[in-house]
Amino acid sequence: MLWVAIIGLIMTAVAVTLAARRVLFLYGLATIGPAAPERIEYARKNVGEEIKAQLVEVLGQRKLLKWTASGVAHAFVMWAFLILATVYLEAYGSLIQGAITGTPDFHIPLIGTWAVLGFLQDFIAVAAFLGLIAFAVIRIKNSPKRLGRKSRFSGSHLGGAWLVLFMIFNVIWTMLLFRGAAINTGNLPYASGAFASEGVAALLKPLGASANEVIEHVGLLLHIGVMLVFLVIVVNSKHLHIFTAPLNVMFSRRPDGMGAAQPMRIDGKIVDFEDEDLDGDRLGRGKIEDTTWKGFLDFYTCTECGRCQDQCPAWNTDKPLSPKMLILEQRDHAFKIAPYLMATEEQRADLHEDVLSLLNKPLVGEDGVIHPDVLWSCTNCGACVEQCPVDIEHIDHILDMRRYQVMVESNFPSEAGVMVKNLENKGNPWGMSEMKRADWIEELANRDDPIEIQLIDEKMPEDTEYLFWVGCAGALEDRAKKTTKAVAELLHIAGVKFAVLGPMEACTGDPARRLGMEFLFDMLAKQNIETLNEAGVKKIVATCPHCFNTLANEYPQLGGTFEVVHHTQLLAKLVDEGKLVPVIPIEEKITYHDPCFLGRHNKVYSQPRDIMAKVPGVQTQEMHRHKDRGFCCGAGGARMWMEERLGKRINTERVDEALTTDPDTISTACPFCLVMLGDSINEKKSSGEAKETLEVVDVSQLLIKSIKGQPVGAS
């Protein structure tokens, strides 16, 4: 047995040395970029929440189990890695004890002869084997050779995946081989329970005691050797996520990587645009080395599973953006240029020209790592972040690169430039006069049944509960104004005291921030925060999910903390309290479209549906993609003000899906969605693909219609 121990320990020393060198390289590369102190600080202060995240996300496989078949298979394999660690503990124990005493009958202290553990080890090995079969079937069924772009594995490194499946298979059969022989030699510590090993033992028993002893020794070395080779493969492949996924989950944003866009930082410090010493050339991410260590952790952790790609509205409408490939292309570029980044000045002069040629390759550009069409196709819908099982934050990567392109390179779609100028000069994306923000108020006041809207002069009236944040679309866009008037009338009926800013309201800055124009967002946000604070505003209700998200989640970054609700949340509450009572039936089949910034970004799914459920006569029919898998309308990420020239229009794709439910009405809860879906419906009507009576309305319009018996604005 001494020779077995010597071979095993030599193999271990070689493999651990190779793996350690790779780990040191990965650590060195990740730490060339700026710090991310906020990630460490949050994890340190929220230990309980981080433990819960590990239990739910990592051990519980919450996101993976949303995809039932592959999720269950992955759960089996993941738990096999954890449980079979006890088998390797036994294997090394047998190796050492056999060298010392000549008898490899080691068992783990206290629990090492417990039949339940023996059963669990064999059970998870068999379950993992079944998981491998499931993975193989899934990969063959979804092969890019068969499905092309429709395969979520399109662009993934397929060879490495098959190699890892093969290595896991080798772990399982070598384990059963040496354990089966150990049963026949009397060296397995479990008298019962290890059912699969016992089956193998029955097959090996006729070979005799001597043969089983040799098989046990050889099988033990094979089992350890496979694990060591697997270790080296893992740290050099996408399966590095086995080790980095728990870290990426630990340092991810809570409660998830959506909601607020992150403040811009330089060297870990939040940028102060009023700082005279601000280095304007370091805004955003212009080079791969501008990526924080958390960004590199994202690169290392990507499993190439393609769930993000499968759900991406840009990729699904034949645009070049794949969230998966966005991460992988940065990762691959980082590895290629790593010899330069990690070398000393003296060493750089001797580097191969293939490495030096990469120095002139821009991070974003026509011949860059990331093509501009990839960067500007993103709608910030959050589907990629929602589906990623290892908490990669794709939107943060995109925003950082956009910030550099916009503020340093001045390189962005020309149509968005008009929007930026309008925000700078008029405080709204359309460039309309600020006085136009009060037009809807006059329209309500001049009806046959007039409603007076309280306009804030300087301070919120003492008896006023909410500031109604109307938003640019709600005040200036004709279709969205119907929602504004419906909400105002519903609040009036319910007896809720509210007021509006009118001309004093300016854009929240969401389009500027999502475009990457952080400076303009900072200016608009601070202006609005000052206005709100001076008026004494505490509670806000907003109809636009983009305004809602910015006011609730992003203004606190600049000191503006308010209690913010979306109008569907407030209206659902008023209906539950009996202050709004829908009584008149609306005999229609209605399908609801989830706005991304209301749903995925802020987890508001139930309230709009609750409102529709209370309206008599309404028959609701969900689209195939809904709630956390809902499909974008195409307007987010400042795309509302950019022309959609590539592939199929996203709003057309969404309306095509809505039409499969044969709806009488499509409802939503966002003015951007209202416009985008409405435009597509009008096109469908013109081509005869949609019935003339089909319309898209806000949930509030359905509610007011059921309460009053007529659509808002009809009187």
SS (H, E, C) 290-346: HCCHHHHHHHHHCCCCCHHHHHCHHHHCCCCCCHHHHHHHHHHHHHHHHHHHCCCHH
Rounded CA-CA distance 504/484 in Å is: 17
- Sign of the torsion angle spanned by Cα atoms 37, 523, 401, 155: positive
Tally of CA atoms within 13 A in the half-sphere of 445 that contains its CB: 9
**Cβ-based neighbour number of residue 475 at 10 Å:** 26
Tally of CA atoms within 13 A in the half-sphere of 336 that contains its CB: 16
At 82, which helix (H) or strand (E)? Answer: helix 68-83
pLDDT the model gives residue 713: 41
Which segments within 181-320 are labelled E, that is strand?
Answer: 265-266, 269-270
Tell me the sheet residues that pair with 467. 499, 540
pLDDT digits (tens, 9 = 90+) for 368-418: 999 999 999 999 999 999 999 999 999 999 999 999 999 999 999 999 999
DSSP strand pairing (265-266 vs 269-270): antiparallel
Q: What is the average pLDDT across 230-234?
A: 95
Decide if 222 contacts 174 (C-beta within 8 A). yes
Tally of CA atoms within 13 A in the half-sphere of 669 that contains its CB: 32
Percent of the chain with pLDDT over 90: 83
N-term to C-term CA, the chain: 95
pTM given for the model = 0.92
Which segments within 24-135 are labelled E, that is strand?
Answer: none
pLDDT the model gives residue 711: 55
Decide if 195 contacts 122 (C-beta within 8 A). yes
pLDDT the model gives residue 710: 64
- For the chain, the residue count is 715
In Å, the largest CA–CA distance within the chain is 102
Q: What is the average pLDDT across 71-90?
A: 93
For residue 270, give both structure tokens. Answer: 């939040």
**Coil, helix or strand for 113?**
coil
The pLDDT-based confidence of 693 (bands split at 50, 70, 90) is: very high
Q: Would you call the peptide bond into 711 cis, given omega within 30 degrees of 0 as the criterion? A: no
The pLDDT mean for the chain works out to 93
For residue 544, give both structure tokens. Answer: 């636009």
Rounded CA-CA distance 439/701 in Å is: 19
Q: What is the average pLDDT across 576-597?
A: 95
pLDDT the model gives residue 1: 62
Look at 56-60, 551-555, 667-671 and tell me which has the smallest mean pLDDT: 56-60
Q: Is the pLDDT of residue 712 over 60?
A: no
pLDDT the model gives residue 448: 82
| Greater pLDDT, 107 or 44 | 44
Decide if 308 contacts 384 (C-beta within 8 A). yes
